Structure 1
Amino acid sequence: MTHGSPPGGGWRAEIDAATALLASAGVASPGADALALAQAVAGIPLGRFRAALITGSLAPAPGELDRLRELAERRARREPLQHILGVAHFRALTLAVGPGVFVPRPETEIVVAAALEAIAPLTDGAVVADLCAGSGAIGFAIADEFPAARVWSVELDRRAFEWTTRNHAALDEGTMRRVTIQRGDARTALAPLNGTVDLVVSNPPYVPPGAIPRDEEVAKHDPAVALYGLGPDGLAVPAGIVAAAERLLKPGGTLVMEHAEVQAEAARGLLDPARWTAVRTRPDLTGRSRMVIGRRTANLSPGASPDETIEESEK
């Protein structure tokens, strides 16, 4: 890099042009995306890059503005920003992502928050199963933020599991030792853990077969295997997750499972009152119903009365 370009020139002008291009293409956050692309090209921390834009103290090196234009054109074609940058930021983690794996979303960070709340009392240790792990975002974040957790992350799809493996290898050594990754079917995986797990957490595929995601980035680039939950309502895979949780969880263990906002009632209905208690829907930060939570009971004898199921979203 060279220094001394005047304020308003160089980077600033090219970021403004990229912002206009992305806005015209319908990108939801054109300014933020243009800045992220420019910062990636410049290769310096975002705070320093922002300061340099204000002072005009950082001139682009040869070819850097051309590179920014190239990346902006890719983003204008609605290629996900995370694919272009090669990373997705999720809670405190930076995860490698790209074609073949679902890009973790901010709303799923609230799933992690609910999971952490469920195991918070277990300071002597918590056994966690993350089913349909994808990039590893949920399970790895739990292990990162709750040092008493021992996490098993399961992913079936071969391409997605390559990303699980890559992100597992990038964890710090202490966290990595507490996370086991496994390629397998969530419905049958982890049989040696049956009845010993404190928390099952999952963001399974749940989109109904006829529904097309609104965002082009999702519809065109997220793998179909990570989106569509099968069955007429998209809940066949989630139902399999519930069945797996029933065998994995110890009595009193918790299931936290993401779903679409229109599936709240149906998702609660997957949890048999004879096997689950305190079943409830929890909203994300925008107030949309986005996850079902339930606590595993001991198997009840015929005629026994389970605890009352909560049928309304938490307020």
Structure 2
Amino acid sequence: MTYDRLLRDAATALSAAGIDNVRFEARLLLARAAGLSVEQLVAHGAEAAPAPVAAGLRALTARRVRREPMAYILGEREFWGLPFKVSPAVLVPRPDSETVIETVLALMPARAQPLRLLDLGVGSGCLLLTLLREYPNATGIGLDASEAALAVTEGNAQALGVAARARLVRGDWRLPDWEKALAGPFDLVVSNPPYIEASAIDRLMPEVARFEPREALDGGPDGLAAYHRIAAAAAALVAPGGHLVVEAGEGQAIEISRIFESAGLAVGSPRKDLSGIDRVVHAQQ
């Protein structure tokens, strides 16, 4: 069976599973199974593929047909032009979250500052580690309740060359006095906290509902539980004049702004993502 035939068969299986962009995804899966780049696949298209390549592609395609996210199958996802390793222990980094980085860079344009950063719910490390790359004199702490998530972050910090400036802390903001272990305050606190209403998670697309870590999605009955906890700790975590920048779910920005204002923070206008959704709320101490 040729590479081209394998590609067509994989695309057909993905299409039958209701997946979009099937030819693009089939190419990525075949490239992984063959150990070739997508460009090399074009050159080999008419050639017969070795049997192990065909078997490997079938196994990868079966995973995707079950709606496992491509990022978990491939083991990585690009964020802000950087490669991040991912596993089912962490959320898949998304372009929407790049709006957090854009907001921070606009608020804090002086890149040489020796800032202290904190990322609450660090996950893959996509926010914290990207910011450490953008601010070469900054140091940062990443907090997460999951040991497995912190292991992913550590690997990414090493790969991106910022491990010496990143400290990872296991902690759970649902517990009393969780912020005391972080030795604040910080010049910048960022977070992409859980913000999905608990009752809505099972209605999300299968890739999210079935495979992504529920604790990183579940924002409580109204989706706002984490924001209340962050606001309550803001006085200890955000330095005078410092910034708090958080990702928000669709339709949540107004209520999050009210929560932060009630905690005595000065809240700016929400920043929209590329779809025009109010995606980021920022506040200042």
TM-score, normalised to structure 1, is: 0.82
| Cα RMSD (Å) | 2.2
Which residue of the partner structure matches residue 179 of structure 1?
166
Which of 189, 204, 226 is 2:193 aligned to?
204
Structure 2 letter corresponding to 1:14: L
Structure 2 letter corresponding to 1:10: T
Task: Check the 8 A contact 1:191/1:248 in 2, yes or no.
Answer: no
Shift of 1:58: 6.2
Q: Deviations over 1:118-153 (max 9, x none)?
A: 222252322111111011111011112321221111
Structure 1 letter corresponding to 2:35: G
Which residue of the partner structure matches residue 32 of structure 2?
40
> Cα distance 1:13–1:236, how it changes in 2: closer, same or farther (>3 A)?
same
Q: Deviations over 1:219-248 (max 9, x none)?
A: 000111110012x31111121122333321
How far apart in 2 are the matches of 1:124 and 1:74?
45
1:12 matched to 2:1 = no
Shift of 1:108: 0.9
Aligned length: 281
Q: Deviations over 1:197-223 (max 9, x none)?
A: 111100011111211352100000011
Which of 60, 67, 79 is 1:78 aligned to?
67
Structure 1 letter corresponding to 2:165: R
How far apart in 2 are the matches of 1:183 and 1:14?
44
Between stretches 141-150 and 115-124, larger displacement belongs to: 115-124
Task: Check the 8 A contact 1:271/1:279 in 2, yes or no.
Answer: no
Which residue of the partner structure matches residue 301 of structure 1?
none
Structure 2 letter corresponding to 1:23: S
Which of 8, 14, 24 is 2:16 aligned to?
24
Task: Check the 8 A contact 1:91/1:109 in 2, yes or no.
Answer: yes
Question: After the TM superposition, which residues 161-310 of structure 1 pair with which residues of structure 2 at under 5 Å, given as runs?
Answer: 161-172=150-161, 175-186=162-173, 188-189=178-179, 191=181, 193-195=183-185, 197-212=186-201, 213-230=203-220, 232-272=221-261, 275-296=264-285
SS at match of 2:118: strand
Structure 2 letter corresponding to 1:29: N
Relative contact order, higher structure (CA 8 A, sep 6+): 2
1:140 matched to 2:129 = yes
1:92 matched to 2:84 = no
> Structure 2: which 5+ runs fail to align?
none
Which residue of the partner structure matches residue 300 of structure 1?
none
Task: Check the 8 A contact 2:261/2:267 in 1, yes or no.
Answer: no
Structure 2 letter corresponding to 1:16: R
Identity of aligned residues (%): 34
How far apart in 1 are the matches of 2:190 and 2:98?
12
How far apart in 2 are the matches of 1:177 and 1:189?
22
> Structure 1: which 5+ runs fail to align?
1-8, 297-315
Shift of 1:290: 1.5
Q: Deviations over 1:39-77 (max 9, x none)?
A: 11222334x33xx41574765333102211221121011
Question: After the TM superposition, which residues 89-168 of structure 1 pair with which residues of structure 2 at under 5 Å, given as runs?
Answer: 89-121=78-110, 123-168=112-157
Shift of 1:165: 3.0
Structure 2 letter corresponding to 1:98: S
Which has a greater percent of helix?
A: 2
